Amino acid sequence: MKLLRYGPPGQEKPGLLDPEGGIRDLSGHVADIAGDVLLPDGLARLAALDLADLPRVAGEPRLGPCVGRVGKFVCIGLNYADHAAETGAPIPREPVVFNKWISALSGPNDDIEIPRGSEKTDWEVELGVVIGKGGKYIPPQEALSHVAGYCVVNDVSERSWQMDRGGTWDKGKGFDTFGPIGPWLVTPDDVGDVGNLSIWLEVDGHRYQNGTTVTMIFDVATIISYLSQCMSLQPGDVISTGTPPGVGLGQKPPVFLQGGEVLRLGIDGLGVQSQRVVRAV
């Protein structure tokens, strides 16, 4: 299934993408794509619905973040061997963990806002993992059973706040609009081999990132298990699993967003995002 949320910010309704690419309204069955809906039984109930009984949604409404009531937005840094090489960093011995603030969440096609005074706003296409069944101390061999689905994430980053101003990476990662997720939450049965997906990003039609999840250093199961050793994972938590090479910081010379650009990014089977870049007023 490809689950989604549509409508104005803060008023999103739950929906499902039908085989023709149309949106079917799920609000007669669930209040949101969130909480217990993401548990195995909740997803099974949605999968059992007859599409013909679900109302069609007219037009092309705005898509919101594909998951509601997100509790944690946890990210993994330097998790592609070729991206680590691009930055000159050594291969991490353990996952590099940082956070994006929940207020950074935005829809997959909403504008990205360059913060006031920023000269180093950058892009990062990433595979997102959404937790269904919560838990802690999860063994690696059981980790994938805790996944509700996968999505596209743009881990937008302000490199000066991230790297030049002391403290942790979190400061440069959590500005408003820096966490587009979606367009859909795709359940594992519709994804195939999550360890072998093409992942790409373009700026104004120029493809900067063109990678594959094959080069991830820590796979999804390892990441979930690792995180569950130091925090409880709960339904709706989002984990962003790192980016392949081709970020703006890695260009020679570096290329950063100035405003006016259009980003397009996607992952095999998980859909495409498109964002216009604007400057904060």
Alpha-carbon 31 to chain mean position: 22
In this prediction, residue 84 carries a pLDDT of: 73
Instruction: Please state whether the peptide bond connecting residue 183 to the residue before it is cis, i.e. omega within 30 degrees of 0.
Output: yes
Alpha-carbon 104 to chain mean position: 11
Q: What's the N-to-C CA distance of the chain in angstroms?
A: 39
Q: In CATH, which superfamily holds the domain spanning 73-279?
A: Fumarylacetoacetase-like, C-terminal domain (3.90.850.10)
Positive or negative, the CA dihedral 194, 14, 202, 91 is negative
Instruction: Name residues of the chain where pLDDT drops below 50.
Output: none
User: Residue 37: CB partners within 8 Å, gap ≥ 6?
Assistant: 14, 30, 43, 46
In this prediction, residue 89 carries a pLDDT of: 77
Pairing verdict, β 238-240 and 73-77: parallel
pTM exceeds cut of 0.75: yes
User: Residue 260: CB partners within 8 Å, gap ≥ 6?
Assistant: 276, 277, 278
Closest CA to 243 of 163, 128, 130, 98: 128
Report the alpha-carbon distance of residue 97 to residue 76 in Å, rounded.
5
- DSSP 8-state code for residue 42: H
pLDDT digits (tens, 9 = 90+) for 241-250: 999 999 999 9
In this prediction, residue 40 carries a pLDDT of: 98
In this prediction, residue 90 carries a pLDDT of: 85
User: Residue 118: CB partners within 8 Å, gap ≥ 6?
Assistant: 158, 160, 161
In this prediction, residue 28 carries a pLDDT of: 97
In this prediction, residue 83 carries a pLDDT of: 77
Domain boundaries, the chain: 2-53, 73-279
Amino acid at 87: T
